[in-house]
Chains A and B, each alone.
Chain A
């Protein structure tokens, strides 16, 4: 990444500190990744857990879910995902440039 881009990302993270603090008060943590390269941008987890979520949830599962929704109806679009397992619940919100996952 270019230095200007990294600087812009740091600015966004700084401006959203209040939001991320509110998330971590009620949830186990969050992961923010970039859509273009599926790279980790910001997280409250340790690096191994965050990379695992980005790799399996964002890069693999979310892309398939989005393409399946488009297959069923070309006008439709995936807005939000909730994955409830026995131990956790993953809330995945894909945006235009980023994907945010909150783990309850």
Chain B
């Protein structure tokens, strides 16, 4: 009855641990936080309170951005968000059932 939706691969615990270790071992990466579907941090290099405090605003940013994207182009889908601040760079990558937050030293230079 229903057309087959594209199947996304399952996100097992081993996959999450593997992704966490892989990202953490990259050069220049300072912190990694992995959120589950509900937005709770399940793996983090920060303290638990710091991870909760850090991920909250980015979940809000992501929600606002996805609502805006659906207005600009309803068929589009968010793949990655990169926020460059004065001191660091934050990457937000929504995956199938997890959301990856990475804080890294910025490679470029802003004189601000």
Write the residues of chain A forming the contact surface with B, with a CB cutoff of 8 angstroms: 49, 52-53, 55-57, 60-61, 64-65, 68-69, 71-73, 75-88
Q: Are A85 and B78 in contact (CB under 8 A)?
A: yes
Among B67, B76, B81, B84, which residue has its beta carbon within 8 angstroms of that of A88? B76
Known: A85-B79, A87-B76. A61 touches B64 (CB 8 A): yes
Q: Are A85 and B77 in contact (CB under 8 A)?
A: yes
Q: Are A79 and B61 in contact (CB under 8 A)?
A: no
Q: Are A78 and B79 in contact (CB under 8 A)?
A: no
Total inter-chain residue pairs, C-beta < 8 Å: 88
Expressed in whole angstroms, the Cα–Cα distance for A79 and B112 within the complex equals 8
B108 to chain A: closest residue by CB: A80
Q: Which residues of B contact A68 (CB under 8 A)?
A: 57-58, 60-61
B73 at interface by CB-CB < 8 Å: yes
Write the residues of chain B forming the contact surface with A, with a CB cutoff of 8 angstroms: 53-54, 57-58, 60-61, 64-65, 67-69, 71-73, 75-87, 110, 112
Q: Which residue among B54, B64, B68, B69 has the maximum number of chain A CB atoms within 10 Å of its CB?
A: B68
Q: Which residues of B contact A73 (CB under 8 A)?
A: 85, 87
Q: Could you show 22 A-B contacts with beta carbons less than 8 Å apart?
A: A55-B71, A56-B67, A57-B72, A60-B64, A60-B68, A61-B65, A61-B68, A64-B60, A65-B83, A68-B60, A72-B53, A73-B87, A75-B87, A76-B86, A79-B86, A80-B110, A81-B84, A83-B80, A84-B78, A84-B79, A84-B80, A85-B69
Q: Are A76 and B87 in contact (CB under 8 A)?
A: yes
B78 to chain A: closest residue by CB: A85
